[in-house]
């Protein structure tokens, strides 16, 4: 059987994103490799990634064969075009840093914290410090290793500019038990979002597959072919002239899922510039001249408000809630004052 490093395969790295420097790799499989599993093949081609990491990429929809998402067990036949969005190389070690953490809950097995805006969850190429993980390494005596050497304790993630509740595992048993709950959709997450426009329905299930954006590799998009199933339930909590406050409950956990789904409905999140949202100032909302024309919120108006799950060790039901950040509250205060519909 031919080697994974066959010179008959051609590959190229394209279009690194500005935010996380992920790279699109294209591989043309010229020589027949009948019977070789896709995950094994890519593990050989992408030497710096473990097979587990490669499988994670495939399961997350970051690998397409001839434009279609496939399973790890897909058999290579030769002649295919493989596209893979690979994350940046990870740093060699993690240094603990005294970064303020807003701890909501803590016991000997897990931590629930309120993530602030503007902080990346874990180190990556070009981002070796100042991450949430750097702060956790400094703060906690122990963290799980199940997520990998450079993601200690990380069970799930939030985008850099999304605030709110996150769970962190202190040991491997707590980690894998929590991960199972996420995998089987037994964790209920509730987000708050301020979106542009007034919704036609007071609530609905958004059921549109999501995959990588065909042009912008640091973004995702609704993809009717090649995407992975993505479901989000939304409910209108409060309506304003030109804006809406929603509660969002994702049933799946795709990258940027809530932002992509709301943008697809033509109701992007306020200030979510990657997905069509606009920055708004007090003057924009009030319609009055104001010397302060700076944006009220400079990031996507999205907050992970609540999370409900079974404690991974005791089995008891736990619900955690993260207080609303000040910029989110300031936006709502302005809308209630100047855009109220009574």
The answer to whether position 326 is within a domain reads yes
Residues 98/130, Cβ–Cβ less than 8 Å: no
Q: Report yes or no on 98 lying in a domain.
A: no
User: Are 110 and 67 in a shared domain?
Assistant: no
User: Per the domain annotation, does 94 fall within a domain?
Assistant: no
Q: Which of 9, 159, 161, 272 is catalytic?
A: 159
Tokens representing 141 are 């005596």
CB 248, CB 264: distance < 8 Å: no
Q: Among 124, 157, 183, which residue terminates a domain?
A: 183
Kindly give, in sequence order, each residue whose CB lies less than 8 Å from that of residue 237, ignoring residues fewer than 6 positions away.
192, 245, 246, 247
On whether both 165 and 247 belong to a single domain, the answer is: no
Task: Residue 163: give the domain boundaries.
Answer: 103-183
Beta-bridge partners for 84: 25, 63
Kindly report the CATH number assigned to the domain that includes residue 30. Answer: 3.10.290.10
Q: What is the mean pLDDT of the chain?
A: 87
CA atoms of 148 and 337, how far apart (whole Å): 47
The answer to whether 159 is a known catalytic residue is yes
What value does the mean pLDDT take over residues 141-157?
88
Q: Round to the nearest angstrom and report the end-to-end CA distance of the chain.
A: 72
Whether 185 shows a pLDDT value over 70: the answer reads yes
Q: What is the pLDDT of residue 2?
A: 36
pLDDT confidence of residue 19:
39
The pLDDT tens digits of the residues spanning 292-315 come to 689 999 999 999 999 999 999 999
Of the pLDDT bands very low, low, confident and very high (cuts 50, 70, 90), residue 41 is confident
State the Cα–Cα distance between residues 287 and 339, nearest whole angstrom: 10
Kind and range of the H or E run holding 18: none
Determine how β-strand 36-37 pairs with β-strand 75-76. Answer: antiparallel
124 to each of 1, 94, 133, 142, 239, how far by Cα in Å? 35, 10, 11, 21, 39
Parallel, antiparallel, or unpaired for β 231-240 and 317-321? unpaired
Stretch 17-46: mean pLDDT:
74
Q: Pick the more confident residue, 264 or 61.
A: 264
Q: β-strands 302-310, 163-169: how paired?
A: parallel
101 pLDDT above the threshold of 60:
yes
Predicted pLDDT at 292: 65
At 198, the pLDDT band (50, 70, 90 cuts) reads very high
Are 169 and 223 in a shared domain? no
In a domain, 93, yes or no: no
pLDDT band at 62 (very low <50, low <70, confident <90, very high): confident
- 171 and 238, same domain (yes or no): no
Residue 40: inside a domain, yes or no?
yes
Residues 28 and 65 in one domain: yes
CA dist 297 → 139, 161, 329 (Å)? 29, 11, 10
What confidence tier does 277 reach under pLDDT thresholds 50, 70, 90? Answer: very high
**Tokens 């973004």, residue?**
219
Q: For the beta carbon of residue 13, count every other beta carbon within 10 angstroms.
A: 11
Residue 172 pLDDT > 60, yes or no? yes
Least confident segment among 218-222, 268-272, 326-330 = 218-222
C-alpha–C-alpha distance, residues 203 and 290, integer Å = 35
Band of pLDDT at residue 158, cut at 50, 70 and 90? very high
Which residues make Cβ contacts (< 8 Å) with residue 278, sequence separation at least 6? Answer: 196, 270, 271
Among candidate residues 85, 86, 112, 61, the one with its CA nearest the CA of residue 228? 61
pLDDT confidence of residue 153: 92
Q: What is the rounded average pLDDT of the residues 121-135?
A: 78
Last residue of a domain, one of 183, 203, 223: 183
Residue 13: what pLDDT? 35
Helices 38-45 and 51-59, interaxial angle, to 10°? 120
CATH number at 302 reads 3.30.2350.10
Pair (205, 287) in one structural domain: yes
Query: Residue 126 pLDDT more than 70?
Result: no
pLDDT of residue 8: 38
Is 65 part of a structural domain of the chain? yes
**pLDDT confidence of residue 79:** 83
**Closest C-alpha to 10, from 34, 26, 33:** 26
Instruction: Determine, yes or no, domain membership for 114.
Output: yes
Q: Is 139 helix (H, G, I), strand (E, B) or coil?
A: helix
**Once rounded to an integer, what is the mean pLDDT over residues 221-230?**
88
The CA distance from 49 to 87, in Å, is 10
The answer on 67 and 36 residing in a single domain is yes
Percent of the chain at pLDDT exceeding 90? 59
Same-domain status, 74 and 203: no
Does residue 2 lie in a domain region? no
Are 32 and 110 part of one and the same domain?
A: no
What is the structure's pLDDT at 212?
A: 85
Measured distance CA(94)–CA(137) in Å, rounded? 8
> Final residue of a domain: which of 183, 202, 227?
183
Residue 128: predicted pLDDT = 64
The mean pLDDT of 261-270, rounded to a whole number, is 98
Contact 298, 271 (CB under 8 A): yes
- The reply to whether 217 and 333 lie within a common domain is yes
Is residue 1's pLDDT more than 60? no
DSSP 89: P
Quote the pLDDT of residue 271: 97
- In the predicted model, is pLDDT for residue 108 greater than 60? yes
Same-domain status, 172 and 208: no
Task: Show Cβ contacts of residue 82 under 8 Å, excluding neighbours closer than 6 positions.
Answer: 25, 26, 27, 28, 29, 38, 42, 63, 64, 65
275 C-beta neighbours (distance < 10 Å), count: 20
Asked if 143 and 119 sit in the same domain, the reply is yes
**What domain count does the chain have?**
3
Q: Is the pLDDT of residue 323 over 70?
A: yes
Query: What pLDDT is recorded for position 216?
Result: 83
Assign 127 a pLDDT band (cuts: 50, 70, 90).
Answer: low
């Amino acid at each position: 059987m031919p080697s994974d490093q066959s010179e008959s395969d051609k590959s190229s790295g394209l279009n690194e994103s500005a935010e996380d420097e992920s790279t699109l790799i294209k591989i043309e499989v010229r020589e027949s490799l009948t019977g070789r599993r896709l995950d094994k093949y890519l593990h050989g081609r992408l030497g710096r990634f473990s097979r587990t990491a490669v499988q994670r990429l495939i399961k997350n929809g970051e690998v397409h064969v001839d434009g279609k998402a496939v399973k790890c067990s897909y058999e290579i036949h030769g002649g295919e075009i493989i596209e893979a969005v690979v994350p940046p190389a990870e740093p060699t070690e993690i240094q603990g840093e005294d970064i303020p953490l807003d701890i909501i809950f803590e016991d000997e097995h897990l931590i629930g914290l309120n993530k602030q805006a503007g902080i990346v969850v874990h180190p990556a190429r070009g981002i070796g410090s100042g991450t949430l993980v750097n702060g956790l390494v400094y703060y906690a005596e122990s963290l799980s290793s199940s997520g990998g050497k450079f993601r200690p304790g990380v069970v799930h993630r939030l985008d850099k500019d999304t605030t709110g509740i996150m769970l962190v595992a202190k040991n491997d048993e707590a980690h894998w038990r929590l991960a199972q709950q996420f995998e089987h959709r037994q964790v209920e997450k509730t987000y708050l979002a301020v979106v542009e426009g007034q919704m036609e329905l007071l609530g609905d299930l958004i059921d549109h597959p999501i995959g990588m954006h065909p042009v912008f590799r640091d973004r995702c998009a609704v993809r009717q072919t090649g995407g992975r199933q993505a479901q989000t339930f939304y409910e209108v909590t409060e309506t304003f002239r030109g804006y809406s406050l929603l509660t969002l409950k994702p049933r799946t956990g795709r990258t940027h899922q809530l932002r992509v789904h709301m943008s697809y409905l033509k109701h992007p999140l306020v200030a979510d510039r990657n997905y069509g949202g606009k920055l708004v100032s007090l003057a924009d909302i009030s319609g009055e001249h104001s010397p302060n024309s700076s944006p009220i919120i400079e990031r996507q108006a999205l907050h992970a408000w609540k999370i409900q799950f079974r404690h991974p060790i005791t089995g008891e039901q736990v619900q955690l809630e993260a207080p609303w950040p000040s910029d989110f509250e300031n936006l709502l205060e302005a809308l209630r004052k100047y855009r109220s519909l009574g």
